[in-house]
């Protein structure tokens, strides 16, 4: 059975995931104590089946994990109806289509600023790092701008986020746990102070909107507001960084695909970014728990048992995607589940798509001759799959 911590598997999981998919049904993984759904239809059902819940179990001891626990139990991601319904309705009212589309000028401004900084390196004959210089700071700056974080304090956000999301990996180390506890406390305190300030002095930002939003007499309480802001940064920017980096590396390693981006980046951006999400999924695993005996595919999941959707495996299902192991930036239709499905469809997906629709063609128009300067360095994680460094020469 697959060892999700094996460096060889982490480096290239897709042959192992194909073997899981060949069973044609969810497979029990003894080490993880859960079923794994690798087939597209089964994984999709894991997201959509109302008998499966996103049940967060508090980590123990409580006094060490208190803040980390409520950051999750009071978030949209780790709650189920009726709480999920109330939270999502309130958040969606503030984080709406008009609010997201209104971010376009800010995204264009931030993109231009980052490209100007990169150009200084290029003009000096240096390589630039696609991750550190572009893909990573872009969504952090965008979400910081959206939430109204002071620009001078943006540098705090990425380390806090990275520390917390390492807990989503398989068997995180004691050191990862310690750092996650500290980051959760510091991040929550920071957002809580900012939210209290905005309640007294409202601004034109999402924290203010979340603090003020009300529907049918319901409002977000303090924990829910903070948890929502932390989730938007953690989930929002991690997916964007990894989707952009994974897709770019895959395209740059395939001359036929990079040629498409060189020749007409704006014409194909909308379909290309969907293939970025499908081909090398930034989120590989999403687990849920059966709230009652439930059938997924040909397997009975007993109440209390866990099952995980293997997103990267589902997105390579040959029964759904022609030539599934080949990147095709013109692929249409593309029914990938990279953003989830059902009630847990990513609430930040429209913003992620908007970010990439601006930043992807802007980069290719600026540097149409760019290529990999060396072999990219992978992050040593499976669940959140991405690169640490991708050096580019022009």
Per residue in 305-356, pLDDT (tens digit) is 999 999 999 999 999 999 999 999 999 999 999 999 998 899 889 999 999 9
Which is it for the CA torsion 226, 231, 232, 234, positive or negative? Answer: positive
Per residue in 361-376, pLDDT (tens digit) is 999 999 999 999 999 9
- CA-closest candidate to residue 357, choices 242, 257, 262, 270: 270
Mean pLDDT confidence for 179-204: 93
Per residue in 233-278, pLDDT (tens digit) is 887 788 899 999 999 999 999 999 999 999 989 999 999 999 999 9
The pLDDT score that the predictor gives to residue 232 is 87
The pLDDT score that the predictor gives to residue 55 is 84
The pLDDT score that the predictor gives to residue 218 is 87
Helix (H, G, I), strand (E, B) or coil at 36: strand
Q: Are 313 and 20 in contact, with CB atoms under 8 Å apart?
A: yes
What gap in Å lies between CA 349 and CA 226, rounded to an integer?
A: 20
The single residue listed with the structure tokens 């429209």 is 350
Mean pLDDT confidence for 288-303: 96
Between 249 and 218, residue with greater pLDDT: 249
Between 277 and 158, residue with greater pLDDT: 277
Mean pLDDT confidence for 132-148: 93
Mean pLDDT confidence for 287-291: 95
The pLDDT score that the predictor gives to residue 278 is 98
The pLDDT score that the predictor gives to residue 233 is 84
DSSP 153: G
What are the structural domains, with CATH classification, of the chain? 7-393 (1.10.630.10)
The pLDDT score that the predictor gives to residue 214 is 83
The confidence band for 160, taking pLDDT boundaries of 50, 70 and 90, is very high
Its pTM stands at 0.93
Mean pLDDT confidence for 141-158: 90
The pLDDT score that the predictor gives to residue 234 is 84
Between 1 and 362, residue with greater pLDDT: 362
First to last CA, the chain: 43
Written as one string, the DSSP assignment of 301-359 is: E-TT-EEEEEHHHHTT-TTTSTTTTS--TT--S----TT--GGGS-TTHHHHHHHHHHH
Does the pLDDT at position 216 exceed 90? no
Which is it for the CA torsion 152, 155, 157, 160, positive or negative? Answer: negative
Per residue in 88-117, pLDDT (tens digit) is 999 999 988 899 999 999 999 999 999 999
The pLDDT score that the predictor gives to residue 235 is 78
Does the pLDDT at position 188 exceed 90? yes
What gap in Å lies between CA 268 and CA 164, rounded to an integer?
A: 35
The single residue listed with the structure tokens 């620009």 is 151
Does the pLDDT at position 166 exceed 80? yes
What gap in Å lies between CA 214 and CA 216, rounded to an integer?
A: 7
Per residue in 29-82, pLDDT (tens digit) is 999 999 999 999 999 999 999 999 988 889 999 999 999 999 999 999 889 899
The confidence band for 281, taking pLDDT boundaries of 50, 70 and 90, is very high
Of 171-185, 205-219, 308-322, minimum mean pLDDT range: 205-219
């Amino acid at each position: 059975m697959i060892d999700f911590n094996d460096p060889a598997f982490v480096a290239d999981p897709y042959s192992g995931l194909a073997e899981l998919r060949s069973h044609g049904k969810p497979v029990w993984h003894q080490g993880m104590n859960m079923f794994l759904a690798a087939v597209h239809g089964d994984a999709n059902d894991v997201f959509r089946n109302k008998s499966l819940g996103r049940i967060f179990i508090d980590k123990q001891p409580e006094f060490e994990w208190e803040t980390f626990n409520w950051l999750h139990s009071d978030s949209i991601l780790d709650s189920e109806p009726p709480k999920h319904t109330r939270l999502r309705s309130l958040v969606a009212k503030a984080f709406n289509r008009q609010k997201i589309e209104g971010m376009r000028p800010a995204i264009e401004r931030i993109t231009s600023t980052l490209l100007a900084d990169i150009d200084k390196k290029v003009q000096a004959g240096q390589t630039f790092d696609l991750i550190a210089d572009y893909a990573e700071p872009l969504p952090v700056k965008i979400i910081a701008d959206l939430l109204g974080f002071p620009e001078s304090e943006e540098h705090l956000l990425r380390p806090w986020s990275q520390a917390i999301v390492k807990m989503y990996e398989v068997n995180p180390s004691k050191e990862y746990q310690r750092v996650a506890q500290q980051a959760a406390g510091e991040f929550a305190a920071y957002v809580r102070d900012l939210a209290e300030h905005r309640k007294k002095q409202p601004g034109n930002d999402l924290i203010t909107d979340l603090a003020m939003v009300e529907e049918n007499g319901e409002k977000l309480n303090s924990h829910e507001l903070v948890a929502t802001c932390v989730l938007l940064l953690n989930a929002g920017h991690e997916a964007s960084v990894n989707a952009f980096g994974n897709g770019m590396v895959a395209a740059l390693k395939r001359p036929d695909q990079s040629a498409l981006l060189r020749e007409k980046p704006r014409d194909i951006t909308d379909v290309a970014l969907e293939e970025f999400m499908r081909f090398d999924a930034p989120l590989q695993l999403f687990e849920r728990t059966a709230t009652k005996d439930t059938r997924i595919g040909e397997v009975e999941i007993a109440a209390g048992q866990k099952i995980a959707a293997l997103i990267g495996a589902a997105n390579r299902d040959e029964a759904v995607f022609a030539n599934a192991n080949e990147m095709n930036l013109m692929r249409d239709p593309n029914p990938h589940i990279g953003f989830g499905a059902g009630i847990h469809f990513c609430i930040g997906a429209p913003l992620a798509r908007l970010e990439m629709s601006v930043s992807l063609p802007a980069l290719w128009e600026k540097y149409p001759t760019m290529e990999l300067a060396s072999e990219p360095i992978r992050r040593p994680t499976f669940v959140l799959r991405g690169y640490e460094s991708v050096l580019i020469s022009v």
